[in-house]
Amino acid sequence: MTNTPTQIYSDGKPSLLDVINLGRTYGAPQNLVQKVLRQPARQVKAVRGIEFNLQPNETLALVGESGCGKSTVARCVAGLETPTDGTVHYQGTSMEDIARSALPARRDVQMVFQDPYSSLNPRWRVGKSIAEPIQVLGIETDPKKVTVLVDNLLTQVGLSPQDAEKYPHEFSGGQRQRVAIARALSTRPKIIICDEPTSALDVSVQAQILNMMKDLQDEFGMSYLFITHDLGVVDHIADRVAVMYLGRIVEIGPREEIFNHPRHPYTRMLIEAVPTLDISDDVAPPALGELPDPANPPSGCSFRTRCPFADARCAAELPELELFDNRQIACFKKEEIA
């Protein structure tokens, strides 16, 4: 079993989760044509060199355009996929070991998926879906006590104990997501990974779910890794923000700093693209070019083909995350932009 020291922060608390040089590559073996023409198999490096940590009772939002690798990071962190490179450690123990060996720490890391319509078994009453992790992970085996736990969980997420006897199709989208959150809470986890849990919901329902999640965090002291592309959601729930572009983190820091003083050109592009009701002539310029092919990313900085600040160095070298202005930024022009 692999162990690594957890990072210690200024307040003396160790991190709950450490993601170190995480990478995930997808691709098929060479086909016949590629072998004859001696062409390499097409591979997509969905995630490359991802590093971050998650502290107790903290919400870290991972944001970026669709296809940037956010959900891949979430699945690797949850132990649902095996990283091609790097490691994910929960309190010093590899998540791969935790998932493979069904260690007790498995109950401490749970996940809420994006689609409330497909994340619940349509053939099971929701009470059974919530009870399953309680029983499988050995938290409680007495049927009567399990029923009490399920009823309490439904109440905590704003539903009724009588809802345990209903099937998923009898609920609205927001109610289904509440059931999914109750299922994640059933093991009393320390970390919940949320993969765009509100993107399929109406705006008014999104607000209800987000407020409920904040209240549950205050009550139970959980940490959230919150995956989203909606900066409005990020501004509402996050303590820190990590911005991803084409499989890499390009900026990470406190939410207020990221929103009020974005330093990476891509972060600025995302924030300037958020619609507002302010009608004026001062309109942000559109992003340059198109999103590159993930299977054939540009040399050097991946964002250079769309960046108005790019120069020859950006094409030749890959910028690494460096501490600057109370955050980490992967950009050679960070001082010029600041």
CATH of the domain at 325: 3.40.50.300
What pLDDT, on a 0 to 100 scale, did the predictor assign at position 51? 95
Could you tell me if residue 57 is inside a domain?
A: yes
Could you tell me if residue 44 is inside a domain?
A: yes
Question: Closest Cα partner for 174 from 217, 216, 203, 133?
Answer: 203
**pLDDT tens for each residue of 59-104:** 999 999 888 999 999 999 998 899 999 999 999 888 888 877 766 7
What is the rounded CA–CA span in Å between residue 137 and residue 130? 12
Could you tell me if residue 246 is inside a domain?
A: yes
- The mean pLDDT value of the chain amounts to 87
What pLDDT, on a 0 to 100 scale, did the predictor assign at position 286? 53
Could you tell me if residue 260 is inside a domain?
A: yes
Residue 43 confidence class, pLDDT cut points 50, 70, 90: confident
What pLDDT, on a 0 to 100 scale, did the predictor assign at position 257? 93
Could you tell me if residue 93 is inside a domain?
A: yes
The parent domain of residue 268 ranges over 5-119+190-337
Residue type, 32: L
What pLDDT, on a 0 to 100 scale, did the predictor assign at position 288? 61
pLDDT at 212 over 90: yes
| Total domains present in the chain | 1
Asked which of 36-40, 252-256, 313-317 is least confident by mean pLDDT, the reply is 36-40
Could you tell me if residue 170 is inside a domain?
A: no
Could you tell me if residue 268 is inside a domain?
A: yes
Exposed, middle or buried: residue 66 (CB in 10 Å: 0-12, 13-18, 19+)?
A: exposed
Residue 138 confidence class, pLDDT cut points 50, 70, 90: confident
Could you tell me if residue 261 is inside a domain?
A: yes
pLDDT at 312 over 90: yes
What whole-number percentage of the chain has pLDDT above 90? Answer: 59
And the tokens for 129? 């879906």
pLDDT at 6 over 90: no
